[in-house]
Amino acid sequence: KAAVLLCCVGSVAKTCDDGASAHVSWPAGTLPMVHVSATSNYAAGCAIGRAMAQRIQSYVKAEEASEMDVLNWALHDERGQATFHRIWRQSAAAYPELADELLGVAQGAEVEPELLRLFALLPELRLGSSQHALAPRLDDACTDIHVKDGNITLLGHNEDAASAVQRFAYIVEAQIGLDIAFTSYTYPGNLPGNAWSFNEAGVVLTLNAVFPSELTSEGVARNFVSRSLLTQSSRRAMTALARQNPIASGFSMNLGDSKDTAILLNVEVAGAKQDVYEVQGNYSHVNMYRRLAVRQEDDASSLHRLRRLQELPAPSSEQDVRALLGDHHDSEYPIYRNGSPPDTDLVTACTIIFNLGKGIACLYLENPHVAAPAASFDLQQSRTQIIYA
């Protein structure tokens, strides 16, 4: 296969400066966490890239090999180039500060910026390449379970991803300028916001990949929209922002609030369409649209996981949610994923359970049904308070 040859798309001559401070905490048995305070998005990106350079470089090397077909399509196929350039331009125009942040990550980590731009647009590039040349690759998944019953408000989330994410991911805690501070599980070299996150306003966010059959021609990249959500002060502000710019692909987001536990939401987004569902009782979401009428790819794992969730008793406690998210009864496509064929190389990288009534989130790096949490987060503090196991 041809090597990926990089070109330039709107490169800006910038160099990392001293507009940020960062330190890393990493107790044994947990994930590394980079704590960043910065005056600008670019400075924050530089600090994150420097702090996590080895993990980012290792991840890029692993993913460049596994995504070779898609990357080559985006760089060397005429339609692929047009798709990549169009979505990048639209995303950078809508969110210039986030384009700067991604550039900072690349320069801090000493990785070619164009490669991180490609990785940031992978959900759209995979979809575009499957329309024109390649078999669809349905990566970046997840399972979410909602419980809203009286005073009990729970949101449980399995972060499913390629095994390289599990090996090299990290957590970012960031205060950038006057923006609301946030904490986010971060795919190496990508923008925060692509995975479970929460902020100092008390809002918690998880995402489910979904796979619409067509790109929205004038849409922006999913990862830019999800990153922009992290500094919003309320669920209402998040849903309004997600509606502001059409998404080139789509996603499902799950929203809760540790300071207002009355409402749990699931929001399905496809292009300019949005469906907001307020949870009463129990609800689950995997990696297919459940309510929006959108042509989509059938995802075998999602069909299996949702069927298994519907077979089991509805959860009413945190223990029940842990048991469901740790279920591996289905030998082909279990809820707690292990990367074995036919679910090849897709694993549950971690599990987080937000107990919004108690204001606590528990993070599990092994099966939550049998393992103890590796760390817990106090969601009601102005800055992240971590309790390590």
What would the two tokens of residue 30 be? 């947990």
Identify the pLDDT of residue 10.
45
Residue predicted with more confidence, 385 or 365: 365
Identify the pLDDT of residue 66.
86
The C-alpha angle 310, 316, 320, rounded to 5 degrees, equals: 70
Whether residue 208 contacts residue 252, with contact meaning beta carbons closer than 8 Å, is answered with: yes
pLDDT value at 137 more than 90: no
Query: Would strands 265-270 and 273-278 be described as parallel, antiparallel, or unpaired?
Result: antiparallel
Which range among 33-47, 183-197, 235-249, 375-389 shows the weakest confidence by mean pLDDT? 375-389
| Mean pLDDT calculated for residue range 90-98 | 96
Tell me the C-alpha distance between 368 and 103, whole Å: 36
Residue predicted with more confidence, 144 or 6: 144
Tell me the C-alpha distance between 240 and 126, whole Å: 27
